[in-house]
Amino acid sequence: MELLGTGFYWNDLTVGARYRTYGRTITESDVIAFVTHAGMLESLFLDREYRKTHSAMEGYAAPALLVLSIAEGLTLNATGQGTGLAFLNMQMDVKRPVVVGDTIHVELEILEARKTSKSERGLVRTKNLVVNQRGETVIEYTPQRLMAARPD
């Protein structure tokens, strides 16, 4: 019996293929939980009155690493369940801020999908655009992952 929700196998992916995840709204609880767990106890994230006079933007900013973490959750739940083996590296560029109330989704494009030299596993690199509800790219990152091959 096939397990529902299984992620992509590297050898089923085609360079240039594109996918989109479902979205998720960033909440105040997300920010508080993240900065508390990470120890990012900055007034910008924890003090509403401080934000009113010292923030460089309108709204309650979400840390870029929180946004990246949520984007990775959206991505992996859709593409890597049971097939993703390791996160190897990435480059990341933060394009614009995300604030509480913004809804993000991830648009992925397969840049590379190839067999490793030592096994049937594969290396997959994607270009991931984290996009807000206005269609603006807020983060662009290019993760490389080790992924399982489709079983024979």
Can you tell me the distance from the alpha carbon of 112 to that of 27, in angstroms, rounded to the nearest whole number? 34
Task: State the pLDDT at residue 1.
Answer: 75
Among left, alpha and beta (phi > 0; psi -120 to 50; other), residue 31 is alpha
Query: Which pTM was predicted?
Result: 0.94
Q: Which two tokens stand for residue 151?
A: 């079983």
Can you tell me the distance from the alpha carbon of 124 to that of 119, in angstroms, rounded to the nearest whole number? 14
Which residue type is seen at 41? Answer: L
Q: What is the mean pLDDT, run by run of 10 residues, along the chain of 152 residues?
A: 86 97 97 96 91 90 97 95 96 98 98 94 98 98 97 82
Angle at 45 between CA 130 and CA 25, to 5 degrees: 35
Task: State the pLDDT at residue 148.
Answer: 96
